[in-house]
Amino acid sequence: MSYAQKEEMLLEETYAASLIELVSYTNESLGKVSCLEDLFDDRIGLINEDGETIYIFGDAGIGKSILLQKMQNLWARGELAVGAKFFFRFRCRMFSCFKENEAICLKDLLFKYNCYPDQDPEEVFSHILHFPHTALFTFDGFDEIHSDFDLSSIPEVCSPNEPTHPLALLVNLLSGKVLKGSRKVLTARTGTEIHQNIIRKKVLLRGFSSNNLKEYTKKFFRDEECRVLMSNQLEANPSLCSLCSVPLFCWIIFKCFELFHSMFDSLELPNYSVTLSDVFLLMTEVHLNRTLKTNLLKKNTRSQVETFRSKKETLFSLGKIAHMGMEKSLFIFDQEEVTSLNMSEQDLHLGFLRTVHDCGGYGDQSSYEFLHLTLQSFFTALFLVTEEKLGTKELLKFFAECSSTETAQSTCFPISWLHKRSIGEDPFRNKEHFHFTNLFLCGLLSKDKEKLLRHLVSPAAIKRKRNALITYLLESMKFQLQSLMRAKLKGYKQIQVMPNFVWMLRCIYETQSEKLAKLTVRGMRANYIKLTYCNAYSSDCSAISFVMQHFQKHLGLDLDNNNINDYGVKQLLPCFNKLAVIRLSVNQITDHGVRVLYDELSKYKIVTSLGLYNNQITDVGAKYVARLIEECSSLTYVKIGANKITTEGGKCLALAIQRSKTMYDIGMWGNQVGDEGAKAFAEALRNHPTLTNVRLTKNAIDDEAAERFAEMLRVNKKLAHLWLIQNQITAKGAKYLSEALQENTTIKEICLNGNLINQEEAKAFANEERIICF
């Protein structure tokens, strides 16, 4: 199956694995998922043994739905070894179709709104009730439920035979009140936090890594010529690569390239900075061109303007229905709503809409939905632009929907033992579709889109709306900047931003307005931007660098704990000449990304601090960091722990540190440099004039290396902190270090916690307070 309606493809031919990570309640990594069976294995990533639901979350288009399809596909072939005899797959948006007074029981949900069993339904249902662990349920898109229905008005139902409102039945299933012991998998977009009481495991989808993208490219393009051309395009355009880390956007870009290859003389996608609006306009053009007559002997040479102008009414109808649904957070449309817009049968099969087959609330009547939620957002934005008489308040309505001062995470599990909500508030609501609508609005009202859109709406209306939008963005950014947390660091004025700020940067990037970017920088009144835990993807680095490149002086940029890969590093190229501090810890950076960092940072030689903790860096990347340490006398602080660096990489780093006369702090914890690598560090420290902090925690170091560190301590008079935590040092090694301290009054602590020293042995060092064993 694919995202397209007209060209169905086998799932196994198009599915490519992406980065799947088990996380804690606070989204700290608990390890990678290597196969789908890991999701059901309690030995991996279990955070609540009383929870009933495996909760999978990620941004729009990141691959949640297709992951569930893959799961069902494996189960149907008998290749999902989790002991499930029954598989029931539901899309949560179907629950929005039920009327307030409807009531169903569990058997109705399974056999009326999912699939009717081949055998006697009573017998099958009885088996499920007696052996609930054999039933596997998947509920896709919890955030797509729209309802102002007050679930607290319904008594709690624990019986599978008692009819209740479908939403109440869903809640009781997920919490284990009904059919306790059955397997449940629930997906939702980031920001739709389900209460931890019902979560058994929490799973984060991060999208395609570099290798995942190569695998998907190989599967998608069977034609070698086309595959090579696409690969070359990606390599030459980091902006495209970054967008392709999101599977949906990757599919759209690949599909457009494939169709342009067959329909047009041009084989190339744009080679400039590509925005998301560019991609969706391109997809729209491709779909519209399918219905327009062409000469069979001649490739299509129709321009984008001609294509859009010829299907103006169709675009307006699609925009109108998208907007109508977006206003109510509705994503399924009945036949009456669609036919009222005079949409032809041909228009319905363009590929923008598809028929919904599992929406029970509409009975036998046909119902429709957009191909993807982001596509509905795009057509909503198109409607806002092309509706001639639309006022400013209506134009900016969805910005108001996103302007809440709440945190980015919102609890939306609507039961009494969770957070309270305002009366009449939709308990399932997520704002990401509004964010995407705003994003596309900014893109469509950008100056370079006017040439296209003036054929759909008057230039005067475009100018009026653009001015209103820019004014709003400036005022909104000004307000956000005033409310940010600020702090003073040594030599820096820091601001800590929230995820909503990243959405504002995305909007500014979509406008491609240099003026707006410069005004944003001026309003920051800071030179250290902390963007940690903002759910920033590689594609967001385009927006970040678009703004940050306008700083006039040196800049500190902290992007720790996001979802940035090597393509994101490339997207930061425009601002490397300003970066004195760059932190990219806990991302997806590999040796390739480190090579980019070396190439750029060594050009300008202004970097003082480099953070690369907990990435995927091997000895190859370590060598580039070593070269940077040697070549940049400005560099004083390097964190490169929790990577895949062994003895070889450790030796290179140690030698570089030995040659550096400015290094102050090196963090190497959680690698595998071993004894030989540690000895190299000991040698590098012997007469080092500046290094005061060295952390070699969890590096497989034993007594032999400890002895070398002891010898170093007799000479070194600068080192203040030496961490050798969680290694393989015994009391013998500790004794070497303790004796060396008799000749060293400079060092403040040697941390040996978690080594092979018991409490009785540790008493021998009780008089030396600088030796810390426990």
Query: Per-residue DSSP letters for 32-74?
Result: E--SGGGGG-TTSS---TT--EEEEEE-TTSSHHHHHHHHHHH
Chain position carrying tokens 């307006």: 316
Q: Which of 76, 55, 56, 60 is nearest to 3 (CA)?
A: 60
Look at residue 531 in the predicted model and tell me its pLDDT.
Answer: 96
**How far apart, in whole angstroms, are the C-alpha atoms of residue 596 and residue 591?**
9
Mean pLDDT of the 294-305 span: 60
Look at residue 483 in the predicted model and tell me its pLDDT.
Answer: 87
Sign of CA dihedral 322, 326, 328, 329: positive
Mean pLDDT of the 417-425 span: 38
Mean pLDDT of the 391-396 span: 94
**How far apart, in whole angstroms, are the C-alpha atoms of residue 682 and residue 455?**
71
Window from 23-27, 116-120, 124-128, 707-711 with minimum mean pLDDT: 116-120
- Compare 239 and 492 and report the one with higher pLDDT: 492
Mean pLDDT of the 354-364 span: 65
Average of per-residue pLDDT values in the chain: 88
Window from 107-116, 510-519, 674-683 with minimum mean pLDDT: 107-116
Contact 403, 472 (CB under 8 A): no
Mean pLDDT of the 581-587 span: 97
Whether domain 490-772 has CATH 3.80.10.10: yes
Q: Which of 561, 615, 409, 583 is nearest to 494 (CA)?
A: 583
Distance of CA 225 to the CA centre of its chain: 31
pLDDT category at 273 given cuts 50, 70, 90 is: confident
Phi, psi of 140, rounded to the nearest 5 degrees: -100, 125
Topology agreement, domain 17-207 and domain 490-772: no
C-alpha Rg value of the chain to the nearest Å: 29
Contact 51, 200 (CB under 8 A): yes
**pLDDT over 70, % of the chain:** 89
- Compare 356 and 645 and report the one with higher pLDDT: 645
Q: Is the pLDDT of residue 644 over 80?
A: yes
pLDDT category at 260 given cuts 50, 70, 90 is: low
**How far apart, in whole angstroms, are the C-alpha atoms of residue 137 and residue 275?**
37
Chain position carrying tokens 């004796």: 739
Look at residue 415 in the predicted model and tell me its pLDDT.
Answer: 36
pLDDT category at 334 given cuts 50, 70, 90 is: confident
Phi, psi of 173, rounded to the nearest 5 degrees: -65, -50
Look at phi and psi of residue 457 and say left if phi exceeds 0, alpha if psi is from -120 to 50, else beta: beta
Look at residue 2 in the predicted model and tell me its pLDDT.
Answer: 34
In the beta sheet, which residues pair with residue 203?
22, 56
pLDDT category at 297 given cuts 50, 70, 90 is: very low
Residue 487, classed as helix, strand or coil, is strand
For residue 22, give the DSSP letter. E
Chain position carrying tokens 């694919």: 2
Mean pLDDT of the 70-96 span: 93
Q: Is the pLDDT of residue 628 over 80?
A: yes
Q: Is the pLDDT of residue 208 over 50?
A: yes
Give 682's contacts (C-beta < 8 A, 6+ positions apart): 705, 708, 709, 711, 712
Give the DSSP H or E segment for 771.
Answer: strand 771-772
Look at residue 6 in the predicted model and tell me its pLDDT.
Answer: 42
Q: What is the pLDDT of residues 450-469, one digit of tens each?
A: 999 999 999 999 999 999 99
Look at residue 428 in the predicted model and tell me its pLDDT.
Answer: 52
Mean pLDDT of the 169-189 span: 94
Q: Is the pLDDT of residue 635 over 70?
A: yes
pLDDT category at 292 given cuts 50, 70, 90 is: low
Tokens describing residue 650: 């450790």
Q: Which amino acid is at 281?
A: L
Q: What is the pLDDT of residues 537-567, one digit of tens each?
A: 999 999 999 999 999 999 999 999 999 999 9
Phi, psi of 288, rounded to the nearest 5 degrees: -65, -35
**pLDDT over 90, % of the chain:** 69
pLDDT category at 421 given cuts 50, 70, 90 is: very low
Show me where the domains of the chain are located: 17-207, 210-310, 312-406+429-459, 490-772
Query: How far apart, in Å, do the first and last CA atoms of the chain sit?
Result: 56
Residue 13, classed as helix, strand or coil, is helix
pLDDT category at 194 given cuts 50, 70, 90 is: confident
Give 724's contacts (C-beta < 8 A, 6+ positions apart): 696, 697, 701, 706, 709, 750, 751, 752, 755
Mean pLDDT of the 723-750 span: 96
Residue 200, classed as helix, strand or coil, is strand
**How far apart, in whole angstroms, are the C-alpha atoms of residue 606 and residue 583?**
14
Window from 146-160, 222-236, 256-270, 598-612 with minimum mean pLDDT: 256-270
Q: Is the pLDDT of residue 419 over 50?
A: no
**How far apart, in whole angstroms, are the C-alpha atoms of residue 538 and residue 543?**
10
Tokens describing residue 406: 């709440």
Window from 5-9, 266-270, 318-322, 656-660 with minimum mean pLDDT: 5-9
Tell me which fold the domain 17-207 belongs to.
Answer: Rossmann fold (3.40.50)
Look at residue 96 in the predicted model and tell me its pLDDT.
Answer: 82
- For 108, 162, 182, 308, the CA distances from 103, given in Å and listed in that order, are 10, 9, 22, 46
pLDDT category at 632 given cuts 50, 70, 90 is: very high
Q: Which of 479, 548, 536 is nearest to 508 (CA)?
A: 548
Q: Is the pLDDT of residue 13 over 90?
A: no
